[in-house]
Amino acid sequence: MNKRIWKQAWIIGGSTGLGAAMVQELAHAGTEVVVSARNSERLTNFCNHFVNASALSLDITDQDECNQAVSMLLAKNEALPDLIILNAAIYTPMNARSLDPAECARMMDVNYQGVVNMLSALLSHKSDDKEVTVATVTSPSGWRGLPGGAGYGPTKAAVINLVESLKTEVEKQGLDLRLVNPGFIKTRLTDKNDFKMPQLMEPEYAAKKALKGLASGKFDTSFPNPFIFYLKLLRHLPYRMYFWIARKLVKKNETP
């Protein structure tokens, strides 16, 4: 994995996809891993594959459950894990023709409000006795509005802004907030896409890249290049140039 071995980790949204791959990578490196997800049966079956992984069922849209989960871990271990990764998310492709207010609200509830709930729970219990890395998995789609990302992208933009806003405020409480911005990963979520995804990654590869970046101490771990490099360029373009490119993308993806 990397030269840094975390003693304990908590992966929220860890029973499938990128989260599951990170659990596997950490567990094989000797880290004690707590794994959380909403589907308790699938979660338990997954954790049974590892001697050093335990299941903690959790719905991050429920503030009380988030508070209780943090309290349970503190009661058991007397401290938070060294590494906490907030990875739970849902995704529905959406454009102007398929804009669905209810689905937008559902994505915001999980992808953004769920992060708010977890950070609130952590901050209400955190002491300053040790540093805890708290990484939120977001998306380059949150850097700038992209055609086809009308529902999902805004949730990730909100999370990025939230973490940037809180970063320096919570350092004195021992919470080291980070971002992980991966490109396309082959999961049940990206299986919904009907377009070509540049540099599509396997979850195992993405997990290694994410954990290596977190071990390096970087605030923002973004990959893979050159795909990410081009998206970062788009983020800095003036609107006139950016919308010219966006129109090209829309035209390219239009059904003949």
H/E/C letters for each residue in 213-234? HHHHCCCEEEECCCHHHHHHHH
Just give the CATH number of 8-253: 3.40.50.720
Supply the pLDDT for residue 253: 62
Supply the pLDDT for residue 223: 97
Contact 185, 206 (CB under 8 A): yes
Supply the pLDDT for residue 14: 95
Q: What is the DSSP letter of 185?
A: B
User: Is it true that the peptide bond before 182 is cis, omega within 30 degrees of 0?
Assistant: no
Supply the pLDDT for residue 254: 60
54 φ/ψ sector (left φ>0, alpha ψ -120 to 50, else beta): beta
Q: Per-residue DSSP letters for 61-126?
A: T-HHHHHHHHHHHHHHHSS--SEEEE-------B-TTS--HHHHHHHIIIIIIHHHHHHHHHHHH-
Supply the pLDDT for residue 212: 96
Supply the pLDDT for residue 127: 66
Contact 63, 122 (CB under 8 A): no
The DSSP element (H or E) to which 194 belongs, if any, is none
Supply the pLDDT for residue 188: 84
Q: What is the pTM of this model?
A: 0.93
- Give CA separation, 88 vs 11, 25, 186, 248, in Å: 9, 18, 16, 32
Among candidates 67, 83, 171, which has minimal Cα distance to 122? 67
First-to-last C-alpha distance (Å) of the chain: 46
Q: Measured on CA atoms in the order 201, 13, 55, 131, is the torsion positive or negative?
A: positive
Q: Tens of pLDDT along the chain (256 residues)?
A: 444 679 999 999 999 999 999 999 999 999 999 999 999 999 999 999 999 999 999 999 999 999 999 999 999 988 899 999 999 999 988 888 899 999 999 999 999 999 999 999 999 886 667 789 999 999 999 999 888 889 999 999 999 999 999 999 999 889 999 999 999 999 888 888 878 889 999 999 999 999 999 999 999 999 999 999 999 999 999 999 999 998 887 776 664 4
Supply the pLDDT for residue 2: 44
Q: Which two tokens stand for residue 174?
A: 């021992």
Q: Is 96 exposed, middle or buried (0-12, 13-18, 19+ CB in 10 A)?
A: exposed
